[in-house]
Protein backbone atom coordinates (compact mmCIF):
# COMPACT_ATOMS: atom_id res chain seq x y z
CA UNK A 1 0.00 0.00 0.00
CA UNK A 2 1.43 3.32 -1.03
CA UNK A 3 1.88 5.92 1.68
CA UNK A 4 2.82 9.57 1.32
CA UNK A 5 4.00 11.69 4.20
CA UNK A 6 4.52 15.44 3.86
CA UNK A 7 6.83 17.43 6.07
CA UNK A 8 7.97 21.01 6.32
CA UNK A 9 7.84 24.17 8.43
CA UNK A 10 4.56 25.25 9.94
CA UNK A 11 5.33 28.97 9.83
CA UNK A 12 7.17 30.90 7.15
CA UNK A 13 8.01 34.59 6.96
CA UNK A 14 6.74 36.54 3.95
CA UNK A 15 9.21 36.80 1.06
CA UNK A 16 11.04 33.68 2.20
CA UNK A 17 11.26 30.32 0.47
CA UNK A 18 9.44 27.32 1.88
CA UNK A 19 10.63 23.79 1.23
CA UNK A 20 8.30 20.82 1.65
CA UNK A 21 9.16 17.15 1.37
CA UNK A 22 6.98 14.18 0.46
CA UNK A 23 8.33 10.81 1.51
CA UNK A 24 6.85 7.91 -0.43
CA UNK A 25 6.71 4.28 0.66
CA UNK A 26 5.07 1.25 -0.92
CA UNK A 27 5.72 2.48 -4.46
CA UNK A 28 8.57 3.87 -6.49
CA UNK A 29 8.39 7.44 -7.72
CA UNK A 30 9.94 6.22 -10.99
CA UNK A 31 7.12 3.79 -11.82
CA UNK A 32 6.04 4.45 -15.39
CA UNK A 33 2.82 6.38 -16.08
CA UNK A 34 2.52 7.76 -12.59
CA UNK A 35 2.75 11.41 -11.63
CA UNK A 36 3.36 12.88 -8.21
CA UNK A 37 1.75 16.23 -7.57
CA UNK A 38 1.71 18.95 -4.98
CA UNK A 39 -1.80 20.22 -4.35
CA UNK A 40 -2.80 22.86 -1.85
CA UNK A 41 -5.96 24.10 -0.21
CA UNK A 42 -6.05 27.62 1.20
CA UNK A 43 -8.47 28.21 4.07
CA UNK A 44 -12.04 28.38 2.83
CA UNK A 45 -11.03 27.69 -0.78
CA UNK A 46 -10.93 24.77 -3.17
CA UNK A 47 -8.02 22.52 -3.98
CA UNK A 48 -5.38 24.08 -6.20
CA UNK A 49 -2.81 22.15 -8.20
CA UNK A 50 0.70 23.52 -7.69
CA UNK A 51 2.68 21.22 -9.94
CA UNK A 52 3.86 17.68 -10.47
CA UNK A 53 6.65 15.40 -11.59
CA UNK A 54 6.37 12.38 -13.83
CA UNK A 55 8.16 9.05 -13.68
CA UNK A 56 10.74 10.38 -16.14
CA UNK A 57 11.52 13.33 -13.90
CA UNK A 58 9.86 15.91 -16.12
CA UNK A 59 8.09 18.60 -14.14
CA UNK A 60 4.91 20.54 -14.78
CA UNK A 61 3.60 23.62 -13.01
CA UNK A 62 0.49 25.67 -12.61
CA UNK A 63 0.93 28.76 -14.81
CA UNK A 64 0.12 31.00 -11.86
CA UNK A 65 2.91 29.49 -9.74
CA UNK A 66 5.46 28.50 -12.36
CA UNK A 67 7.72 31.49 -11.67
CA UNK A 68 8.00 30.64 -7.96
CA UNK A 69 7.61 26.87 -7.68
CA UNK A 70 10.25 24.22 -8.16
CA UNK A 71 9.68 20.47 -7.83
CA UNK A 72 12.51 18.00 -7.60
CA UNK A 73 12.93 14.39 -6.65
CA UNK A 74 15.44 12.24 -4.84
CA UNK A 75 15.19 8.76 -6.33
CA UNK A 76 17.44 7.16 -3.73
CA UNK A 77 15.23 8.46 -0.93
CA UNK A 78 12.01 8.06 -2.93
CA UNK A 79 11.11 11.62 -2.09
CA UNK A 80 9.52 14.57 -3.85
CA UNK A 81 10.36 18.14 -2.82
CA UNK A 82 8.51 21.39 -3.43
CA UNK A 83 10.22 24.73 -3.07
CA UNK A 84 8.05 27.83 -3.24
CA UNK A 85 9.88 31.14 -3.33
CA UNK A 86 8.84 34.65 -2.34
CA UNK A 87 5.86 33.46 -0.36
CA UNK A 88 3.03 35.74 0.67
CA UNK A 89 0.01 35.30 2.92
CA UNK A 90 -1.81 34.04 -0.19
CA UNK A 91 0.36 30.93 -0.02
CA UNK A 92 -1.04 29.96 3.37
CA UNK A 93 -2.63 26.56 2.84
CA UNK A 94 -2.59 22.87 3.61
CA UNK A 95 -0.17 21.31 1.16
CA UNK A 96 -0.76 17.76 -0.04
CA UNK A 97 1.36 15.32 -1.95
CA UNK A 98 -0.64 12.93 -4.13
CA UNK A 99 -0.28 10.29 -6.85
CA UNK A 100 -2.15 9.86 -10.11
CA UNK A 101 -1.85 7.35 -12.92
CA UNK A 102 -1.92 9.22 -16.18
CA UNK A 103 -0.57 9.24 -19.70
CA UNK A 104 -0.42 12.62 -21.36
CA UNK A 105 1.40 14.74 -23.85
CA UNK A 106 3.55 17.52 -22.46
CA UNK A 107 1.03 20.10 -23.62
CA UNK A 108 -1.87 18.27 -21.98
CA UNK A 109 -0.29 17.21 -18.71
CA UNK A 110 -0.90 20.38 -16.67
CA UNK A 111 -4.61 20.23 -17.34
CA UNK A 112 -4.91 16.45 -16.96
CA UNK A 113 -3.10 16.51 -13.64
CA UNK A 114 -5.82 18.71 -12.15
CA UNK A 115 -8.53 16.02 -12.05
CA UNK A 116 -8.35 15.57 -8.31
CA UNK A 117 -10.89 12.75 -8.20
CA UNK A 118 -8.46 10.58 -10.18
CA UNK A 119 -5.70 10.74 -7.60
CA UNK A 120 -5.44 7.36 -5.88
CA UNK A 121 -3.12 8.18 -2.99
CA UNK A 122 -2.84 11.28 -0.81
CA UNK A 123 -0.70 12.32 2.08
CA UNK A 124 -2.24 13.68 5.25
CA UNK A 125 -1.24 17.22 4.31
CA UNK A 126 0.98 19.73 6.02
CA UNK A 127 -0.16 23.18 7.13
CA UNK A 128 1.96 26.09 5.96
CA UNK A 129 1.19 29.52 7.38
CA UNK A 130 2.88 32.59 5.96
CA UNK A 131 3.06 35.31 8.58
CA UNK A 132 5.52 37.70 10.13
Model pLDDT for residues 47-73, shown as the tens digit of each residue: 999 999 999 999 999 999 999 999 999
First to last CA, the chain: 39
Beta bridge partners of 99: 36, 121
**Model pLDDT, residue 95:** 98
Query: What is the side-by-side order of every strand in the sheet holding 69-74?
Result: 3-7, 18-25, 79-84, 69-74
Low-confidence ranges of the chain (pLDDT < 70): none
Q: Pairing between strand 79-84 and 69-74?
A: antiparallel
Amino acid sequence: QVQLVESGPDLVNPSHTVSLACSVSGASITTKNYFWSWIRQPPGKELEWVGGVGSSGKTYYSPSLKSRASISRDIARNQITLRLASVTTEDTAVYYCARIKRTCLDSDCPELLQTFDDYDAWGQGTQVTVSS
